[in-house]
Structure 1
């Protein structure tokens, strides 16, 4: 191999060990996906036929729809979260803002994995906020925190990758 890789298949193999914080956050996110989904399914029969389906910037409900829409949200979150957790363990195949080389591969892979795991965590906070708002009311702070977490994970992750490539 020459020092630069042109395709994902030609990239150097992953050799670093995932850090304990990243491993724990990945598992917390997976368990949160399962727990929040279970909570929604358990609460589902007792919910009214019309539930909040959209929330304003302050977290208050501003649109309503049929309660079955919660099952769609739960399905989407499971279908996004669990594969994202699995994919996060394979950073060699990610798209990166810089070319992956022998000299930067392990650092870039680590930062890519962290970006995916923190994104996954932000998704779970948002999912919890949705469930909390619909089932108990008043989950606006979690909704805002989840959105901020998603934006922050993306911004910090990209900045860390660009800096790591220097």
Structure 2
């Protein structure tokens, strides 16, 4: 990536969002590892629409969530840092590249943060449900986070940028 693209992709607020995403993924790993020995042999791995577990699996499956969160975080982070690889609805020129690259990078950083938070809540739901505790409120949080994805996309698309895409 060229130096001017790097400046567009990494303003201070993006660095904060990037660090928050990383902290959330680390928290997912710490939760899974920290609660692993306290979990029963079988943990819920699937839930119905009412939030009740309807499938169980080995407690080792708790580590699938941090693995997937890590892989998605790495992929979305890489793509956010390389907006020149993205598809755009217009031809990218030297005149419009900075604003389109900024918009695309913001979009992926926001989605990365929300996806990380979704995996954190999913990990909490599995742990809380496995320990036979109430997890209803976590499902409301999960729903809010899932709805935050289109809201985040809309925010990125309508917010003013340093220069307007052409």
Report the TM-score when normalising by structure 1. 0.78
With 81-90 and 28-37 compared, the bigger mean Cα shift is at: 81-90
With 152-161 and 89-98 compared, the bigger mean Cα shift is at: 152-161
- The alignment status of 1:51 with 2:43, answered yes or no, reads yes
Distance 1:90 1:46 in 2: 41
- The alignment status of 1:36 with 2:35, answered yes or no, reads no
> Quick check: which one's helix share is greater?
2
Match of 1:21 among 13, 19, 44: 13
Distance 2:8 2:26 in 1: 29
Q: CA RMSD in A?
A: 2.7
- 3-state SS of 2:37 partner: helix
Stretches of structure 2 that go unaligned for 5 or more consecutive residues are 130-134
- 3-state SS of 1:28 partner: helix
CA shift digits 1:105-128 (9 cap, x unpaired): 101100111011111111111111
Indicate the residue corresponding to 1:69 in structure 2: 61
Report the TM-score when normalising by structure 2. 0.78
Stretches of structure 1 that go unaligned for 5 or more consecutive residues are 1-8
Equivalent residues of 1:115, 1:153 under 8 A apart:
yes
Alignment of 1:1-166 (within 5 A): 14=5, 15-16=7-8, 18-57=10-49, 59-137=51-129, 138=135, 139-157=138-156, 164-166=164-166
Distance 1:21 1:110 in 2: 12
